Amino acid sequence: MKKITSIFLVFAILSLSLMSFSASSQITVFVDGDKLDFKDAEPFIEGGRTLVPFRAIAEALGAEVGWDASTKTVTIIKGDSKDTTAVTDDVYASNAPDGSKNIKIIIGEKNAEVNGNKVQLDVPAKIATGRTYVPLRFVSEAMEMGVNWDAKTKKITIDTPEVYITLDKNNAEVGDIVKATVNIKNFYGFAGFQVNLKYDPEVIQPIDTASNAAFTDTSLPDEGTLLKGKFSPTAMANNDVANGTLTYGSAYINMEAYKKSGKSESTGSVAVFNFKVLKKQQTTLNFQNSSAMTNAKNGTMLFNWDGTSLTNYKVKGAAELNK
């Protein structure tokens, strides 16, 4: 009897272990905080890359999907492609101003297309258990989304990129220096930007930290954590300090070498503006469109290491001081 009991105990322990392993090995995917339900077709890892059911991921990213059984081609389209300038009858220009995306992936092949541009895949799409699977990171980044992987929890987060301003203090006295930092988050292949920053010149005054003098129309802010190093970053400013406008941009000139490095800058700060408080009263700093920045998004323009303007991102609201 004891022997039989021991055998059942061993089976119970093994069953619990298997259940625990199954639960811990499951991959979870979140898009802007919402967990995706893949139902009966779970993601899996192959060649170090996560593959997911193509319809589930595409629709979660707001795209339409298509399937051509004769050519085994997956099509993912986002935006009003009919309004985009065509390169051929069914391939659209990569610099679509409205951010339209036309992605084509052929099952079993390592070549794909994004708006007519050839792209090399690390692993090909495939059909498994009767479902079509595509590389999650490729599709997400082609849609200009940020992707992060937690190896410990097997959790993948896909987030809409963001541009925002932070202040090093929320309240300040007259004469204090307040640091206003322009930040980006989750921009894959980020290579350059331009912003138009609006402030009240009667309340705060931009200061050049190198000379400790007030800004001129060509003064530059301090560097951030990104756009530094060996890829020849170049910065320019065209300010209008009398009217409280700072227009600043920076970019890598040697983008080809940057892309070949395979090390994408995606999250961090891109500029730090120092303001001296002239009056203690509530004031705001915010991005604002200008006639000098065509196709800007709420006073911001960003592009990646292909030189492509990015459009799928959020611009957060104004930073407030002495609220």
For 133-148, write each residue's pLDDT tens digit: 999 999 999 899 999 9
The CATH number, out of the four listed (3.30.470.10, 3.30.457.10, 3.40.50.970, 3.40.50.300), of the domain defined by the range 27-159? 3.30.457.10
pLDDT digits (tens, 9 = 90+) for 56-112: 999 999 999 999 999 999 999 987 643 333 322 332 233 344 568 899 999 999 999
| Reduced 3-state DSSP string for the chain | CHHHHHHHHHHHHHHHHHHHHHHHHCCEEEECCEECCCCCCCCEEECCEEEEEHHHHHHHCCCEEEEECCCCEEEEEECCHHHCCECCCCCECCCCCCCCEEEEEECCCCEEEECCEEEECCCCCEEECCEEEEEHHHHHHHCCCEEEEECCCCEEEEECCEEEEEECCCCCCCCCEEEEEEEEECCCCEEEEEEEEECCCCCEEEEECCCCEECCCCCCCEECCCCCCCCCEEEEECCEHHHCEEEEEEEECCHHHHHHHCCCCCCEEEEEEEEEECCCCCEEEEECCCCCCCCCECCEEEEECCCCEECCCEECCCEEECC
Residue 10 has pLDDT above 80, yes or no: no
Q: Where are the domains of the chain?
A: 27-159, 162-321
CATH architecture of 162-321: Sandwich (2.60)
